Amino acid sequence: MVYFDNAATTKPCRESADAVLRGLEDFGNPSSLHGLGLKAEQHREHARETIARALSASPDEICFTSCATESSNTVIFGAAASVGKRKKRIVTTSVEHPSVAACCDKLGESGFEIVRVRPADDGRFHVGDIISAVDDNTCLVTCMLVNNETGSILPIDKAFSAIKKKFPQTLTHCDCVQGFMKLPISVKKLSADMISLSAHKIHGPKGIGALYIRRGVHIPSLIVGGGQEKGFRSGTESVPLIMGFGAACEKLSVGISERYEKVSRLRDRLVRLCSETDGIYVNSTDNSSPYIVSIAVEGLKSEPLLHFLEQREIYVSSGSACSKGKKSSVIKEFGVPDRLRDSVLRISFSEDNTENEIDELIGAVTDAMNSLARIR
Ligand code: PLP
């Protein structure tokens, strides 16, 4: 099998799966006062320390959630309910993942002014465009680091540091799901008050995410109850999944730049082979993360092409996994011409992929171009 859908989810690594199993065996509730509870608490705190270290943050700034979607919902609705009582503008981009975009849409319906910064004609975000969208009525700026459909890297560190200098009270949030453990991320350099993370994109289990909240930033909790996670996120913590998240993070903490180099070589080969093949276009720009490459195969619809590849056990996405075949507005924002928008495939790598697999993909796409019905 050739798995090129790592932006949708990754195969859990052995270390993560083993850690989940250990967490199921050490089944105590971390809130219990006896030894079993203490052991579960120690496991949870070890994972928290690992994730904090990966961001150069403090453990007390990390809160576990069920997924990145929950992290972003918590931050956006929380900011709106607190600072948003006085300040009614939210600045975001036109290419956010639905877990952020849908929150902004909802707040837009309830009276917030949502400013969606768009990429320039060259498909890149210009720092100045993000900065100039913020004013002193802005409660929150929420922008992703790496786009999940094209891999485009947004200039968040430069934008957020300028915004925090000019408007220190404006909260900054970054969805780092597709950048975490792939690009070096430090909370200080990013100037983010809050960051959303997800375990299943880094070879950890599904159903566990994290939220970084800078010390001193106070937003109301979305889930109330037993007061877990220092009262910020109630509900008994899923210690097995937390341990799986921590183990995946610990494993990937070593060799980020070596993996980046390896995946860059895969990306470069894919881009070269695409440019040598008539009718295949690369939508991702050269400022993108090498882990995600968006291509378009002129004249073929994404979905039949995806299933053609699947028959050869090559797994890819059409656009993003969440859009489930719907036409992506994000691809349009990045300037992909109308005639190619139904023909987009997202190829997303992990360090386990090989150059041979890329040759296999291009061979299979070429066969599909010769055998599948063309769009008229
Ligand atoms: N943000 C981005 C950029 C993503 O790619 C995804 C998942 O595809 C999410 C958020 C949502 O993550 P989760 O599945 O943990 O809710």
Q: How confident is the model at residue 319 (pLDDT cuts 50, 70, 90)?
A: confident
| pLDDT at residue number 373 | 78
Does the pLDDT value for residue 165 go beyond 80? yes
Q: Ligand 1 centre and the CA of 370: distance in Å?
A: 35
d(Cα 330, Cα 336) in Å, to the nearest integer? 9
Q: Ligand 1 centre and the CA of 56: distance in Å?
A: 22
**CATH homologous superfamily for 2-9+255-371?**
Aspartate Aminotransferase, domain 1 (3.90.1150.10)
Q: Could you say which of 1.10.1050.10, 3.20.20.70, 3.30.365.10, 3.40.640.10 is the CATH number of the domain covering 14-252?
A: 3.40.640.10
Does the pLDDT value for residue 325 go beyond 60? no
Per-residue tokens: 108: 């837009």
10 Å CB burial of residue 215 (0-12, 13-18, 19+) is: exposed
| pLDDT at residue number 324 | 60
131 touches 159 (CB < 8 A): yes
Within 6 Å (CB) of ligand 1, which residues are found? 67-69, 97, 99, 144, 148, 175, 177-178, 198, 209, 322
Per-residue tokens: 155: 């200039």
Q: Ligand 1 centre and the CA of 7: distance in Å?
A: 9
For residue 8, which atom of ligand 1 is closest to its CA?
A: 8
- Structure confidence by residue, pLDDT tens digits, 166-222: 999 999 999 999 999 999 999 999 999 999 999 999 999 999 999 999 999 999 999
Query: Mean pLDDT for the chain?
Result: 96
| pLDDT at residue number 88 | 97
Give the DSSP per-residue string, 183-221.
S---HHHHT-SEEEEEGGGTTS-SS-EEEEE-TT-----
Does the pLDDT value for residue 255 go beyond 90? yes
If one residue of 145, 194, 201, 211 were mutated to test the ligand 1 pocket, choosing by the most ligand atoms within 8 A of its CB, it would be: 201
What is the pTM for the complete model shown? 0.97
| pLDDT at residue number 94 | 98
10 Å CB burial of residue 350 (0-12, 13-18, 19+) is: buried
The CATH 3.40.640.10 portion of the chain extends over 14-252
d(Cα 316, Cα 347) in Å, to the nearest integer? 6
The CATH 3.90.1150.10 portion of the chain extends over 2-9+255-371
d(Cα 256, Cα 264) in Å, to the nearest integer? 12
| pLDDT at residue number 374 | 77
